[in-house]
Structure 1
């Protein structure tokens, strides 16, 4: 099973512009998924779907995603608005006022949770959401599960975007999944970079954004002393491909830019390919 992921689309950053930069970047990624060699079985869109939470941007997002021939599952990020989202995506389930739902696949469950706290940049995971996730994990303890969420609960070292380990929502989330051996991985967004990190006995996989990326600078930042460091950079629009195999989740990160081919599988490369495959056990 091949699961594609896009995140941090921020549609509507340039409101009223039909040729918006972020829409062009989103369309570029979708076209790569449709026409490239790795067409997925489904697509996850993991939050910050639009930039200002407005209904028109969600309408344009629905239009952009309408060309996808595979199922698309969406979740909330800190730039999103639940009511305006639901007005354009009424088929996406919501429970207890949160956009949270389970997706049953062949030998795998996706548990999509809502970490939006309106007015706050960072994540949230209240008692109601914890109770919902705990109930979903209780009802099927045998099938492997992947938790899909916008905010990663792990510190990664990009100081101005970091999640602190002592944040109450992180502690509550950690307690909720503690001892839940069916949880195979967390799939997240929010940080606008490709990052993989261990956390609490599982793996956090963070997808780069279709919108511009966050600059990689791991030095401390002093909020009182602007130092002119790069913060947002116009690197290529990107996405992730997660291959669910009998050995677990294998994740790849790719950009939607054109790649310059330096070698192709022709008669010249055939001996190398044959020798590499011949080295494997029969």
Structure 2
């Protein structure tokens, strides 16, 4: 099973511009996704679709994503608003007013969570949502399950983007997930760069964004002394490709940019590749 992940699009960041940078970056990303082979089984969009949660931005996104003839699953980020999203995507499942649901017709069971706490950058996960997740995981204890959410409930090391591990909602979510060993991974967005770590007995992966990226800077911040450090950089838009091979999830990330090709699969490379195949089969002679 092959899953493409797109995250943190932030459409409508510059609503006065007809040629908004984030729209152009998203279109370039979609063009790259449509060239992925083998053909992906679905696309996950892990939040911050619209920068201001407005209906016009969601409508633009819907028109663009409809060009890709693949199933699209979406969750909400801290820049999204449920009212605007639900107006444009009324068919998206909701539980107790939250955009969270289960997709059960793939080799991986996919559970989409809602960590949006409107008006709060750092997200949330209340008792209602935790109860719902506990029930969904308990009903299929032997199905390999993938969690999809916007906010990574971890200390990223990037101080201004980190969600406090001691926050009640983080502990609540961690406690639920840690009780269920069938969770093979958790896919997140929010931080605008690639991060991989262990969490709650599984592997948590943060996908880089299609919008501009967050600079990697692990130095502490003094909120009383701005130090002019770079925070956002116009690196190429990126997306994730997650491959479920029946045993584990393997994640790759691709930047959407022009690159000089240094090697191709030609007759010159054929002998070397055959040797690698023989090594894997255990039939290669040592050099």
CA 1:208 to 1:6, structure 2 compared with 1: closer, same or farther past 3 Å?
same
Partner of 1:39: 39
Partner of 1:106: 106
Count residues in correspondence. 282
Partner of 1:49: 49
Q: CA deviation at 1:19?
A: 1.5
SS across alignment from 1:105: coil
Which range moves more in the overlay, 46-55 or 272-281?
A: 272-281
1:75-224 equivalence runs, <5 A: 75-224=75-224
Whole-Å separation in 2 of the counterparts to 1:90 and 1:129: 20
Partner of 1:270: 270
Whole-Å separation in 2 of the counterparts to 1:36 and 1:5: 12
Q: CA deviation at 1:38?
A: 4.5
Whole-Å separation in 1 of the counterparts to 2:16 and 2:42: 30
SS across alignment from 1:35: coil
Q: CA deviation at 1:18?
A: 2.7
SS across alignment from 2:78: coil
Whole-Å separation in 1 of the counterparts to 2:9 and 2:27: 10
Q: CA deviation at 1:203?
A: 0.8
- 2:279 matched to 1:279? yes
SS across alignment from 1:268: helix
Q: Deviations over 1:23-72 (max 9, x none)?
A: 11111111111124353110000000110011000000101101111100
SS across alignment from 1:136: helix
Q: CA deviation at 1:124?
A: 0.2
Counterpart contact for 2:175–2:200, Cα < 8 Å: no
Whole-Å separation in 2 of the counterparts to 1:166 and 1:280: 45
Whole-Å separation in 1 of the counterparts to 2:231 and 2:58: 26
Q: CA deviation at 1:165?
A: 1.1
TM-score when normalising by structure 2:
0.96
Q: CA deviation at 1:273?
A: 0.9
The RMSD of aligned alpha carbons is 1.1
Q: What runs of 5+ residues in structure 2 fail to find an aligned partner?
A: 283-287
CA 1:113 to 1:7, structure 2 compared with 1: closer, same or farther past 3 Å?
same
TM-score when normalising by structure 1:
0.98
- 2:247 matched to 1:232? no
Partner of 2:59: 59
Counterpart contact for 2:146–2:185, Cα < 8 Å: yes
Whole-Å separation in 1 of the counterparts to 2:64 and 2:107: 30
Counterpart contact for 1:33–1:39, Cα < 8 Å: no
Q: CA deviation at 1:211?
A: 0.1
Partner of 1:3: 3
